[in-house]
Structure 1
Amino acid sequence: MLPDPSGQATRSDDELAPGFAFTPWTFAVDAAYQARKLACCGIDPAIWGDVLDPSHFALLTIRHVNRDGFSINGSVHMIQHYRQHAPVRIGEEITLQGRITGIEPAPRGTLMHAGFEVVRADGSIAMELSRTSVRMDQEGERKGPGSAAARAENPDAPALGLARIGEKQLTPEGVGNYSDDKMNRIHDDPEIARQFGFRAPIAAGIMGSHIMMEALVRDGGGPPQQLAMEVRFRRPMFWDELLTVTGERTNGHLSRVALMKPEGKPACFGLVDSVSYGSRG
């Protein structure tokens, strides 16, 4: 890992062992925050009404790691799971709590698995999230984790052959502003990106999650009330790329959604296990 630009990295990664619990963090996400982040992704925040895009909490779990004194500089998101039991409202006070669930070596560095819960003031759990990220060595562009058997089965297969929904143009301004906390300079500093083997800065993977969530909202006519979804980040999204949004509907709703790079390979894709919709708040 490179030195941490946030100035908050005061602890060694050696502490991040399975079972390590992060300090519970209580906060509320306001409308300005949601609007600012979604604008960076080319998304109208009005589609969410008065509820929050679950993708925000994926980003905030990363910030949670840094907030507890650990560097995230050079860390790359690989897999994200969402299990939303009920939507969280704009301005609602919640507590984020989580722990490390696994650590394992990978060809490009170390894989870190973590699980988090979004807890309401009454103690109920609004959302459960889990994430896998690779804390990269500086040896060139990363390859996805997985066994030879998994690679033989083509991990891109769920993202292939889907119908075109639309497109999104990434911009250096949007990608840089999305990661305006400067915790991970791989998103806005060309030299840092080159040190990790990328031709240009890469978008935070969660920007892809926001774009795929937008597709779900538009497909369902409003924000999901309950949602179980897995997102896999397959390739870097460079800050100047035009992405094609694709999807497939099963049983009346989007069951697969993907962002395809200009060369026709998936940057990321989402597998929707279940989703239900209600009226907008």
Structure 2
Amino acid sequence: MVHAAPAPRTKTEEFYPGFRFPERPVIRTREYQDSRLQACGVDPALYGDQAAAGLFGQDCFKAMRAAGHQVDGLVQTEQRFRQLEPIAIGETVTQRGWIEAYEEVPRGHRLHRKFEFVLKDGTVALTADVIGLVPDKEKWASAAKKTPQSAPSDPRDGYTPVSEKKMTPEDVTLFSSDVGNLIHFEPDFAANLGYRAPLAQGLQTMVWMMGKLTEDGPPVSFELAATFRRPVFWDEDASLWLHRGKTGFIDSMRALNAGGKLTAELSVSSLSYA
């Protein structure tokens, strides 16, 4: 009996809600962590023997690739992390995940993926929500024309400057080298999507921000979310600004480009230390 070759998957079939990614073991080595944190402008010594939660965002993209999903050209718009227990350097955890939603939006489709990182005893130590855009070039151009321009406010108001850094192609390439999205590596690919140069991952800025939460020691648990407002090119200057709540703890951070425009914002819902 002759079987016909399976038809290629469409975007809708690839991203259907409820799709489950194959479970996979994940282990964070010190060499990997140190190199990626340094590429983000974070001192690895701040984390001690604890795995940096933000870097598990890269494992979410690896899971997508392992499942055969296309990642080239995907635009990440939001990332959420909830840490219930710390994960140690060298500790093996099980990663499992699924697609929460795939829905049409003005610029294409909003894709929401959720992942859990599970300890050997079955405890969920960390959850990660990766939310992004599967862009449609025609819809993107049309939506940009229809978007009303509101009067800009100064994103620095009420915030204190704490750090500056320059993005470099070398750091951006290193940080994203195991993700596989050509938008971070190939100038021609980025140009075809309308960008003057490759883009740094939003996660790279988020890890920079999360590093500020470790300066008094790595937190035991937290819940936070980053929204990525503008692209960050791989050769841009950036600055980091923070806001403290009534308790004195950081409750919000903002990243700005050299022109003073907001590129990313981090909101901290809860935070606890040992």
The TM-score with structure 2 as length reference comes to 0.89
The higher radius of gyration belongs to 2
Aligned twin of 1:246: 241
Work out whether residues 155 and 261 of structure 2, in 8 Å CA contact, stay in contact via their aligned partners in 1: no
Aligned counterparts of 1:71 and 1:234: Cα–Cα separation in 2:
23
- Relative to structure 1, the CA distance from residue 66 to residue 275 in structure 2 (aligned partners, 3 Å threshold; closer, same or farther) is same
The TM-score with structure 1 as length reference comes to 0.86
Aligned twin of 1:224: 219
Give secondary structure in 1 for the equivalent of 2:21: coil
Is 1:194 aligned to 2:177, yes or no?
A: no
Aligned twin of 1:275: 271
- Relative to structure 1, the CA distance from residue 152 to residue 143 in structure 2 (aligned partners, 3 Å threshold; closer, same or farther) is farther
1:98 CA drift (Å): 0.9
CA RMSD of aligned residues (A): 2.6
- Relative to structure 1, the CA distance from residue 87 to residue 136 in structure 2 (aligned partners, 3 Å threshold; closer, same or farther) is same
Matches within 5 A, 1:140-159: none
- Relative to structure 1, the CA distance from residue 253 to residue 55 in structure 2 (aligned partners, 3 Å threshold; closer, same or farther) is same
Aligned twin of 1:235: 230
Matches within 5 A, 1:1-281: 11-15=9-13, 16-138=15-137, 160-181=157-178, 183-218=180-215, 221-250=216-245, 251-278=247-274
- Relative to structure 1, the CA distance from residue 159 to residue 232 in structure 2 (aligned partners, 3 Å threshold; closer, same or farther) is farther
Work out whether residues 96 and 118 of structure 1, in 8 Å CA contact, stay in contact via their aligned partners in 2: yes
| Structure 1 unmatched ranges of 5 or more | 1-9
Aligned counterparts of 1:94 and 1:236: Cα–Cα separation in 2:
32
Give secondary structure in 1 for the equivalent of 2:20: coil
Identity %: 33
Aligned counterparts of 2:157 and 2:243: Cα–Cα separation in 1:
10
Give CA-to-partner distance per residue, 1:45-80, whole Å, 9 cap, x none. 111101111111112112111111111000011111
Work out whether residues 205 and 233 of structure 1, in 8 Å CA contact, stay in contact via their aligned partners in 2: yes
Give secondary structure in 1 for the equivalent of 2:72: coil
Work out whether residues 144 and 234 of structure 1, in 8 Å CA contact, stay in contact via their aligned partners in 2: no
Aligned residues: 264
Give secondary structure in 2 for the equivalent of 1:216: helix
- Relative to structure 1, the CA distance from residue 141 to residue 102 in structure 2 (aligned partners, 3 Å threshold; closer, same or farther) is closer
Give CA-to-partner distance per residue, 1:162-184, whole Å, 9 cap, x none. 11011111101111121113611
